[in-house]
Amino acid sequence: MKNSIYLIALFAASTVGLATSCSSDFLDETLTTQYSTDHFKTPSGLDELSIGTYQKLKFQFNYTWGIKAFNWGVDEFTDANNSGPEYNNYGETLNSTNTEVNSPIWDNYFSGIESANTMIANIPQYYGKSDSKYNTRLGEGYFFRGFYYYRLVQQYGGVPLKLQPSTGVETSFTRASEEACFAQIISDLEQAYNLLPTKVESTGKLTKWAAAHFLAAVHLARASELYSSWNKNYLSSDLDAVIKYGKEVVAACPLCPNYVDLWNYSKANDVNEKVSEVVLAAQFSDDQNTWGRYGNQMHLYYPSVYQDMSGTKRDISGDREFCYARSTNYTMDVFDRVNDSRFWKSFITCYGCNDSPGAPVWGATAITAGVCPSGVVANTKRFKGGQVATKYIVNNAGDSRYVKYGTAEADVLKNGVLDATHTFVRYFKDEKNSWLDAHGNEGYYGAQKRFVALSKYRDGYRIAIASQFGTRDAIIARSAEDALMIAEAYVRQGESHYDDALTYINMLRDRAGYSSGEDREVNVDGGQAYMNNPYSKDKGGGYSADGAIFSSENTYYESNNISATTESTKSSMHLNSVNDVYSSIVDSPIYQTLGCTTNAQKMLCFLLDERTRELCGESLR
């Protein structure tokens, strides 16, 4: 899949006459290398069109629309250093006018649909049915059309259904109903399901299981309350279809043994990008010929700002902090942060020092005040390259260990002693629990650019500190979501099916628990790829040999205020019965806030909470 992009002209160029007064035999050159759409009436042309249409899968991860349209305005993330009031606060600029988000989504997905229409129309005519690739090519066409229409319906509701390739300029279209759009999407994906292979030789190519995954997703979407005005006749069959297709995907694409396997990125095109759980991913790499205008830019949007803290300079391992999405208090509180390893395998809580000369020093005033560690000398460095420079303490209200000290943004006393690091704390002593009110020295009411940042897109294999071009594949679908979709379908079928739902929720929760002997204070994310990156050679994390922003440490034990242990937490994560859902210590405050009182309400709320715990930041909210 990681081929150079074929530059194929979709329309023949107009012939331009060259007039001259110099000579009647002036050199007249004819362009002979440009394709017309007749090229798509050949097997090789259709193969190339298929490759070009795969490129549209990258669009969601290319630019700011990837965060604005897909992960702003949700409960998991909100305004960071770059704010989005139109999405996060439903501001006055949230409207139907063409914007830098609306237009590209519309244009790119309809462009993909046009290519798919050409494939569907031309493959039966010009691609030999005896060719081993015939079914695959036709299945790709149907998948792309169904998938891109699904993306459009998610954003706009009903859209024009254009099912034939254009032969000229068209300017008038009729908007189809949501019901008609869903019917067409399901029909196309069913065709793809019947045509695509179960296995492929090249990573990133479509399989039957990609079609099955999105059939499950589309049937579940149609069964939701969003379409209650017209979906009544589909509900029963839709939920059955979710279970059928979802189970097939879970069986064909087994979960990774450890949640961190999904994010253990060490270099482009390595084993981490070939794990069994990934059903479909947009293919990116370090091959600059494939980057195009944008590349994978998701690594830009989730980082917390670190470059303006003393001792931490921006480097490759820490990413460029465009800082568009700040994790919310809901996201911090929806995890059982003692027993659920997914939190610590999804978020960054430690940053390394890569600039010893710029690190802060122990001040004489603090020493005189008696708040410094015993034995420190005035004007000596509080930390140095290779050590932790900044840490985030993810604690709960009622923690009396921490108080703010002085005027510096991140100077904090822990048990009366000044922390050597820049320290950001959720709750200081005597602060009350709140999802909205001020507490601590990070987040919306502290410093909006300081927060516990998502690590899933971190990319230490980029070619330069300022490079926008990420090298990681971008996951579009993985079988863990199928397990959650199956569970949701069972919940929606009624209380007699709740135990069936628990079976699939437990697949994820059992994995999420710490294994016996597992090191809980180690951090693994894509920032570590700097260690294999030739552009970081002899430069630490990419800035200097002094160190790297990426840190292999986290604040698990300090945040949770517990002693070190290697005992398994899997039994604590396992749901033994529906009563564990109804009385969940983690979820009950959320039930109460949302007014969930019935068993059905609690089950669906728990399911949505579990989606955050498993899929946080993956543009699936």
Is pLDDT at 154 greater than 50 in this prediction? yes
Inter-residue contact 299 to 525 (CB < 8 Å): no
pLDDT band at residue 6 using 50, 70 and 90 as cut-offs: very low
CATH 2.60.40.1110 fits 37-64+101-252, yes or no: no
Minimum mean pLDDT among 17-21, 53-57, 270-274: which range? 17-21
Is pLDDT at 66 greater than 70 in this prediction? yes
Inter-residue contact 220 to 182 (CB < 8 Å): no
Inter-residue contact 523 to 343 (CB < 8 Å): no
Gyration radius (Cα) of the chain, Å: 27
pLDDT for 15 equals 33
Is pLDDT at 133 greater than 70 in this prediction? yes
Mean pLDDT, residues 54-77 taken together: 90
**Strand pairing of 388-393 and 350-352?**
antiparallel
pLDDT for 311 equals 98
Give the 3-state secondary structure of residue 474: strand
Inter-residue contact 300 to 322 (CB < 8 Å): yes
Render 585-613 in DSSP notation, one character per residue: TTTHHHHHHHT--SHHHHHHHHHHHHHHH
pLDDT for 585 equals 98
Kindly report the average pLDDT of the chain as a whole number.
92
pTM: 0.92
Task: State the burial class of residue 2 (Cβ atoms within 10 Å of its Cβ: 0-12, 13-18, 19+).
Answer: middle
Torsion sign across C-alpha atoms 253, 256, 261, 263: positive
Inter-residue contact 237 to 218 (CB < 8 Å): no
Mean pLDDT, residues 299-323 taken together: 96
Inter-residue contact 66 to 25 (CB < 8 Å): no
Closest CA to 615 of 427, 460, 488: 488
Is pLDDT at 14 greater than 60 in this prediction? no
The letter for the amino acid at 550 is F
Residue-wise pLDDT for 232-252, tens only, equals 999 999 999 999 999 999 999
What are residue 606's phi and psi, to 5 degrees? -60, -40
pLDDT for 343 equals 99
Is pLDDT at 126 greater than 50 in this prediction? yes
Q: Could you count the other beta carbons within 10 Å of the beta carbon of residue 330? A: 17
Residue-wise pLDDT for 23-62, tens only, equals 444 455 555 566 778 888 898 888 899 999 999 999 999 9
More confidently predicted of 358 and 5: 358
First vs last C-alpha separation in the chain: 28
The Cα 474–Cα 404 span in angstroms is 40
Q: Output the six-digit token pair for 7.
A: 């530059």
Dihedral angle of Cα 61, 62, 64, 65, to the nearest 10 degrees: -70
Inter-residue contact 230 to 496 (CB < 8 Å): no
Q: Could you count the other beta carbons within 10 Å of the beta carbon of residue 150? A: 22
Domain ranges of the chain: 37-64+101-252, 474-513+564-615
The letter for the amino acid at 472 is R
Residues 6+ positions from 618 with CB-CB distance below 8 Å: 456, 475
The Cα 414–Cα 559 span in angstroms is 12
pLDDT for 157 equals 95
